[in-house]
Every structure is written in C-alpha cells, then in structure tokens.
Amino acid sequence: MTWRKQNNSFFKVAIASAFSLALPFCAVFSQFSLPAWATTLADADGLLLQNKLKQAEDAYRELLEEDQTGDAYAGLAVALAKQSWPAKLLEAEKLLRTAKEKFSDNPNVIAAAGYVSYVHSKTVASPAKRDLYLEAAEKLCKKAIKENSNIVIAQQTLGMVKIAQDDMDGAVDPLRKANNLAENSVNLTLLAQVLLHLDPHDKEAEEFVNKALQLKSDYGPAHLQKAVVLTNQGKHEEAFMELHNISDSGRSSDWHLVEGDIYRKQGDGPSALASWAKSNSLDPRNPEPYKRRAEYYTNRGDGELAISEYHNALDILPNDFQMRNQLAELALRQDKLEVAESEFKTILAGKPDDPTAMLGLARCGFRKFRKEGSYPADFTQLMDKLQNIVTEQSVQGAVIKNGTRDLQEKIDLSEAEKALTQNRFREANSKFTGIIEKHREEPFELITLGEQCFQEGDYRAAEKAFTYAKDMNEVSTRAEQGMSRINNQRNEAARQVKLGDATWKIPEVAIDHYKQALSADPQYSNAYYGLFNLFTKSEKQDPGQAINYALCFLEASEDANPLRKEVESNLVKLKKKSGPVKGKEN
C-alpha cells in the first residue's frame, strides 16, 4: 500500500529543516547529500509498498535509533499494524506513543496513528469501542491531511474509515485523492468498491477494477470487485470464475458475501443464506451479511426474521440511519407499531429534522389513532414541525432519497393515512393507487405497497398492487397469498354482516357484529349500511351516529351500488333534522 507521497516543494529547503518538517512518505532522497540511513528508509518504504511486511518491519527497526524525523517510527507502526497480529498491533500503538512524545508535529506519525487506530477498530467486539477507534482514526487522518494533503495513507485510511461507518458518499473524495496521488491496485480497488456500492452499474468503477488487475493480476480484492461488476451485469458464471481466481487463503468474509449475492441473483436462496452465514462466521463484526439476510427475508415475506437480522446489523452499525428507516418501515408493514415508533424516534434523536423519520412517526400516530381512538402524546407538535420542514424542503426543491422512495412519496403515504383517520377512504385510495402506479413494473415494491395498504385497511389498493405483482415470477406466490388474505378478510366481513342482519332486533348484538365486520375489512360498505340503518330506524336511533355511518358508506361503496341513492336521500333528511355534525367515528 502506498502510504507516503513525494512533495518536491519540501526538498527546496535546507536538509535540517526538511527533516524537522517531516517529509511525506516515499520521498526521493537521491538529489541531496543525506545521511546514509535515509537511503535505507527508502528501501524500507519500498518493502512496505511491495507488501513484504516482515522485511519492512526489520528494515524500519534498524533505523529507529538514528530516526531524527519520526518517519521510521511511522513506517514501523504501519508495517506492524498491517500484519494484523494482536501483539504487533499493541506494539505499533506503544511505538506511536513514543513517537508522539518525540515527533508530535510530524504528519506522517499522525497519519500512521490514524491507520493503526483504524486497524484496531476491526479487532474490538464492542460497537461503542469500534466507533471510538473509528472516530479517532478519522480525527487523526484529517489532522495529518490538514498539515499535508499529499500523505496517501491519511487519505486512504480516511476513506476506509468512511466505508466502515457505512458513509460511502463520504468515502469517495479521500479515496479519489489517494488514487490521484498513487494510482495502484489498492487505491483503484477501494475507490471502485465505493462507487459500485453507490451505483452497481458505475462504468468508472469497472474501469478502475480492470486497471487494478492490469497492474497486479493476482490482487484478490480487485478480482472480488470484478466479480461484483460481472454479477451486476447478469454474468453470473463469469462472476464465479472471478471469485475462484482468488486463492483459498484470500477467501475472506467479503468473498463469501459476494458469493452469496451471486447465488441470490441466480435464485438459489438456500445457497445464498449458507454463504452469508459463512461470511459472518469469518467476521462476526461484518454487518453486510446481516443486511443481506434482512433484505432476503423481507423480499421472501418473512418479516420477523428480517427484523431480527436488521437488529443484528444495527448492533454493529447503530448510526446507520438509512438501515434504521428500512427496519422501521418493515415494522410498520408488519403492524409492529412499537418497534417502528422506537426506530423512527432513534433516527430523530440523531437527526432531529429528518422529514422521512417524522413522516414515519406521523404514520405510526395515524395508525394508533385508528386502532385506539387517540393520538400519541406530542403528536400535534410533531405535525406542526413536520409541516414546517416539508414546506421548507418544497421551497428549496430538495428531494431526500430513502431507498426507492423520495420525500414526496413519503408525504403522499402520510397524507393517505391521515385521510383514513378521517374516513376519507376515496382520497386515501387515490393516494395509494398513485404510488402503486409509479411502481407497477417493480415486483418487490408492489408487494411492499400491497402489504402496506392491507395493513392500512385499504383492500382495493392492496388488491391492485397484488394484481400487478401476481404476473411477476419473483413475487407471484406472495401476491397470490396477499390476494387470498384479502378474500379471507372480506369473507369474514360478509359473515359478520349476515349475523348482524340476522340479529337486527337485538341492536347491541347487531352493532357488535357489524363492528367485527369492520375489524375484518375497515372499508366494508355493507357493514356501514347496517350501522346506518340501525342508528336511523331502530330503538338505537342517533342522527349524529347515523350521519357518520352514512358518510362512511358513501366513501366505501362503489358508485354503482344501488343502495347509494337511498342513503343519500336519507342523509339529506337527517342533516336537516340534526344540524351540523360535530364529529365522526366508525
């Protein structure tokens, strides 16, 4: 790994002052009459560049007594840390403490400390300690870069820290700078890895991978990223060949992760799960296999398993707010309101003005209202703040991406759920249907939307989503299952309405059956018609209640329903008798 970079301006000053300024790594010394050990330092740097770590370690050790700048200390620390042995890592940290006392201003020493801190972050089991080491590495690298932006190890380590923090956008700039300073197989591959994460079909990333393999044909990580490129292009057999160009000793946790990805895209779920399990066994602190299983279980319809895997991944990456949002959305679809609410609140604790989390929390509130008849505490304040933020985003023209949905789609979902709390079924259905139409070519999105609409009680919208999805091989089984659930609920609603009709002379019993029908299908028009008639014609006459149920019937029934004229006519008479309606309930 290239970790020091020549900056010729440093060589235009006197030799003594050059050493006090801490020359960047991989400096060329042949232009000047330097101490004899300086040439050996260049040799040690060369060994490190060739990944001959033990030889580099031995060479740097010989230089420590005569080191007047701290560069040998820095080189030895990196050589030790790259060997990944716990004892050598501890020695590297001890060495850097000594170097800090002697050469506190040397940016190479600071950069080396950043790299060692990054390596140490990979060895700790505690997510909290891991984050502390990553934060320290980031701080040290930024400090070194501020002193000298041409220190490659600082730029490269900063990029790797951002990858470890799942901040791929933040990793691009330092890794691109590292690659511009030293275009080698390592920097090319790291940059390609990040670009492919952001865009699986990134053409520049493919070029970088190919160039990395041209420079070093046996570089395993480059073959791994080449496999990623090929599988994203649908060339699964070629991707497997690339994977198997990597020797057994180089088949790391990430190797098995990519193998699982290829199996999954080939439709072999059991093999994919086995590969991801192997990935986790090799590195339990790698969050990616957990995320892959969560996505797989979500798409398969195993919400409980998916939620469990998301929790496993969040134990490692607690600040991955995008993943928290995915978990919260899944919990909302599974009607696990407490889990969803908790995750949205956690996001807002870290990002107080995040509109997607606020919209999610608002949707939890609307769902709770429909279930319990009351909103959560502080709901009014939440909605006021949300309105201000959404208005500001709209004025600025900002769009916040969250998976495949943007901010406007989240707003539409929230507005649909708000309409449901006010029994404005037609408006809600229009919102849901509009979103479904946008995703009618996306099988898993259709399933997701169908399940959401089902949980919200809008079976007509759910049916539309499942109808589109049932012709798509990837999700046809789940779509059929969704349709079956809708039919079961409608059949139960019809059964309860018949019981209500049969017990009409006992209003309390009839009312209970009609309400059970609405529990089965919240928009079952015949149940609203039965309640409307009861509160209009029986001993339970209540004009206010009757009006509310009449309005619900008109919202829920089809335009061609022959009972609409009767209800509309009676509704006019009821309104004249009772005056304005103060409230609604169902």
Q: What is the DSSP string of 239-277?
A: HHHHHTTS-GGG--HHHHHHHHHHHHHTT-HHHHHHHHH
Among 182, 205, 235, the domain boundary falls at 182
- State whether 21 and 159 are in the same domain: yes
The pLDDT tens digits of the residues spanning 337-382 come to 999 999 999 999 999 888 889 989 998 999 888 888 888 888 888 8
| Residue 60, φ and ψ in degrees, nearest 5 | -65, -35
Is the distance from CB of 302 to CB of 271 less than 8 angstroms? no
Which of 182, 199, 219 is at the close of a domain? 182
467 within domain boundaries: no
Q: Are 547 and 571 in contact (CB under 8 A)?
A: yes
Torsion angle of the four alpha carbons 471, 472, 478, 481, in this order, in degrees rounded to the nearest 10: 0
d(CA 551, CA 493): 19
pLDDT at residue number 395:
44
pLDDT recorded at residue 331? 94
In one letter, which amino acid is 474? E
Indicate the residue among 398, 419, 440 that finishes a domain.
419
Average pLDDT over residues 522-527: 96
CB 25 within 8 A of CB 74: yes
Q: What is the mean pLDDT of residues 390-414?
A: 61
Domain assignment present for 531? yes
Could you tell me the CATH number of the domain that includes residue 356? Answer: 1.25.40
Residue range(s) defining the domain that contains residue 549: 497-578
Name the domain count of the chain: 3
Phi and psi at 229, nearest 5°, equal -60, -45
Identify whether residues 74 and 173 lie together within a single domain.
Answer: yes
Close Cβ partners of 388 (under 8 Å, ≥ 6 residues apart): none
| Model confidence band, residue 400 (pLDDT cutoffs 50, 70, 90) | very low
Output the CA angle 502-503-505, nearest 5 degrees: 120
Q: Does residue 249 lie in a domain region? A: no
Are residues 6 and 154 located together in one domain of the fold? yes
Question: Can you give the pLDDT at residue 26?
Answer: 40
Both 415 and 502 in a single domain? no
Side chain identity, residue 509: V
Please give the pLDDT value at position 578. 67
Q: pLDDT per residue over 447-480, tens digit each?
A: 999 999 999 999 999 999 999 999 999 899 999 9
- Is residue 410 within 8 Å of 359, Cβ to Cβ? yes
pTM of the model as a whole: 0.76
More confident position, 525 or 539: 525
End-to-end CA gap in the chain: 68
- The stretch 492-504 carries a mean pLDDT of 95
State residue 584's pLDDT score.
44
Return the SS3 of 375. Answer: coil
Top pLDDT among 435 and 47 is at: 435
For position 281, what pLDDT does the model report? 94
Compute the Cα dihedral for 88, 91, 97, 98 and give only its sign. Answer: negative
pLDDT band at 430 (very low <50, low <70, confident <90, very high): very high
CATH of the domain at 532: 1.25.40.10
pLDDT band at 392 (very low <50, low <70, confident <90, very high): low
User: CA–CA separation, 579 vs 398, rounded Å?
Assistant: 45
SS3 sequence of 129-166: HHHHHHHHHHHHHHHHHHHCCCCHHHHHHHHHHHHHCC
Residue 330, pLDDT > 80, answer yes
What proportion of the chain, given as a percentage, has pLDDT over 70? 89
Note whether 5 and 152 are same-domain residues: yes
| Average pLDDT value for residue range 25-47 | 52
327 lies in a domain?
Answer: yes
CA distance 424 to 561: 18
Asked if the structure places residue 194 within a domain, the reply is: no
- Determine the average pLDDT of the residues in 135-163: 94
Percent of the chain residues past pLDDT 90, beyond the cut: 62
Dist CA 188 CA 178 (whole Å): 9
7 and 113 co-located in one domain: yes
Amino acid identity of residue 41, one-letter, is: L
Q: Domain check: are 29 and 146 in the same one?
A: yes
How high is the mean pLDDT of the chain?
Answer: 86
Helices (H), 52-126: 53-63, 71-82, 86-102, 107-121
Let me know whether 22 and 163 are in one domain. yes
Q: Are 511 and 375 members of one domain?
A: no
Q: What is the mean pLDDT of residues 215-225?
A: 93
Q: Are residues 521 and 415 in the same domain?
A: no
At residue 402, what are phi and psi to the nearest 5 degrees? -145, 95
Average pLDDT over residues 511-515: 96
Do the domain assignments include residue 111?
Answer: yes
**Same domain? 408 vs 556:** no
pLDDT in tens, 1-34: 344 443 332 222 222 222 222 333 443 222 223 3
